[in-house]
Amino acid sequence: MTNSFDDQLEVFFGEATPTKARVYARLPRGNWPAEARLHGTFSGPSCWYAQTLPTTYRFVHRGVDDTLLAEANVPDPCFWTPQLPYLYQIELRLQRGIEVLAQASQPFGIRPLGVRGRNLVYSGKRCVLRGALVKNAVSLNVEEWHRAEASMLFDKAPADSLLTEASRLGVLVIVGPVYDTPTLNRLARHAAVGLAIRSIHTESDQSWSSSVPNLLIGGIGTESVDILAQETKVVVTPSDDGARIARLASVFEGPTIVIRGQEAFDNPSRVREMCDQMQRELAPYGDFAGYFA
């Protein structure tokens, strides 16, 4: 039953401002006993690059119908950013009275990455992502990507160990295409993963947005402007035809991320330089939300 608890448990944040954040734990009722309740703590923050004074907050039971819900109110939250990747630690228990039916522990980051019109915003300020396609995850040095201030793009979901390292060291990750909900839910557990690109072969985008409210979902833009209606991103590839990208971006109300992806980078030392070059080349066609070499 513990494995079922781990798989079904969802942790996400709602309102998040510099003065307060609301963090929720949610579990489908399923076959769990009617008397079961979610309890636990939300502790932190910790950061690889800064000294912190951790504090512990408690989850309060909020709902018992088809879905079990618990809430923790966090004053003065520290956000997860690539510069300062603050992480909290969540300890959750499913209890019937004093009996512990299942329990789980995981790090958690409040990542304020969102959308405003055609722009990506981080903590309310416009941001432009720069990064590159990564394929050789075995020899990947995550710390080098952090120093280069470069994001990583994976064409398939990497191992949890790598995503844990990226979350700890502060490297934003984009993954796609993603084909199924279990993979999406696994990715959403990691603070480093900011965007998941849906495969054009998946169905029902509605459930994706509701099941992972803190993870931005991307669609794939093609010549036929095949943009999933409920998605907030369009990923355009290749980047060589600026006029085509401009046409595609003009009919999409959200941010456009341009991906070249002609080669994979194991060393990020030249990534920013190449992304800046892409941005200069595409400047006559528009100012886009991200450039990936």
Segment of 191-200, 257-266, 283-292 carrying the highest mean pLDDT: 283-292
- Cα 119 from Cα 233, distance rounded (Å): 10
Indicate whether 95 and 144 sit together in one domain: no
Indicate whether 145 and 65 sit together in one domain: no
Indicate whether 163 and 242 sit together in one domain: yes
Indicate whether 159 and 198 sit together in one domain: yes
Q: Which residue has the higher pLDDT, 75 or 226?
A: 75
pLDDT of residue 207: 59
pLDDT of residue 200: 62
Select from 75, 108, 141 the last residue of a domain.
Answer: 108
Indicate whether 30 and 162 sit together in one domain: no
CATH of the domain at 154: 3.20.20.70
Domain region containing 264: 113-292
What is the token pair recorded at 45? 């923050």
- The answer for 35, left when phi > 0, alpha when psi is -120 to 50, beta otherwise, is alpha
Query: Looking at the chain, how many residues does it have?
Result: 293
pLDDT of residue 82: 96
pLDDT of residue 249: 77
Indicate whether 73 and 148 sit together in one domain: no
Indicate whether 148 and 229 sit together in one domain: yes
Residue 228 near residue 212, CB atoms below 8 Å: no
pLDDT of residue 26: 94
Residue 183 near residue 157, CB atoms below 8 Å: yes
Indicate whether 40 and 94 sit together in one domain: yes
CATH of the domain at 81: 2.60.40.10
Provide CB contacts within 8 A for 14, sequence distance 6+.
21, 22, 23, 24, 213
- The answer for 149, left when phi > 0, alpha when psi is -120 to 50, beta otherwise, is left
In this model, does residue 211 exceed pLDDT 80?
no
Q: Which residue has the higher pLDDT, 177 or 58?
A: 58
Lowest mean pLDDT among 32-36, 67-71, 242-246: 242-246
% of the chain at pLDDT higher than 70 = 86
pLDDT of residue 235: 66
The predicted-structure confidence for 226-246, as pLDDT tens digits, reads as follows 544 445 456 666 667 788 888
CA angle 61, 64, 69 (to 5 degrees): 45
Segment of 17-21, 182-186, 214-218, 247-251 carrying the highest mean pLDDT: 17-21
What is the token pair recorded at 47? 């950061």
Indicate whether 166 and 282 sit together in one domain: yes
Residue holding tokens 């394929």?
Answer: 135
Closest by CA to 75, choosing from 15, 20, 36, 151, is 20
Select from 60, 93, 108 the last residue of a domain.
Answer: 108
Q: Which residue has the higher pLDDT, 217 or 210?
A: 217
Residue 178 near residue 205, CB atoms below 8 Å: no
Indicate whether 130 and 11 sit together in one domain: no
Indicate whether 11 and 93 sit together in one domain: yes
In this model, does residue 176 exceed pLDDT 90?
no
- Cα 221 from Cα 237, distance rounded (Å): 8
* Other Cβ atoms within 10 Å of 293 Cβ, number: 26
**Sheet of strand 119-122: strand arrangement:** 113-116, 119-122, 125-127
The predicted-structure confidence for 133-173, as pLDDT tens digits, reads as follows 887 676 788 999 999 999 999 988 999 999 999 999 999 99
Domain count, the chain: 2
pTM of the model: 0.90
pLDDT of residue 225: 45
pLDDT of residue 208: 66
Select from 108, 134, 151 the last residue of a domain.
Answer: 108
- The answer for 37, left when phi > 0, alpha when psi is -120 to 50, beta otherwise, is beta
What is the token pair recorded at 184? 């999406």
Residue 190 near residue 200, CB atoms below 8 Å: no
Mean pLDDT for the stretch of residues 198-209: 60
Indicate whether 97 and 134 sit together in one domain: no
- Cα 68 from Cα 9, distance rounded (Å): 10
CA 79 from chain center: how many Å? 13
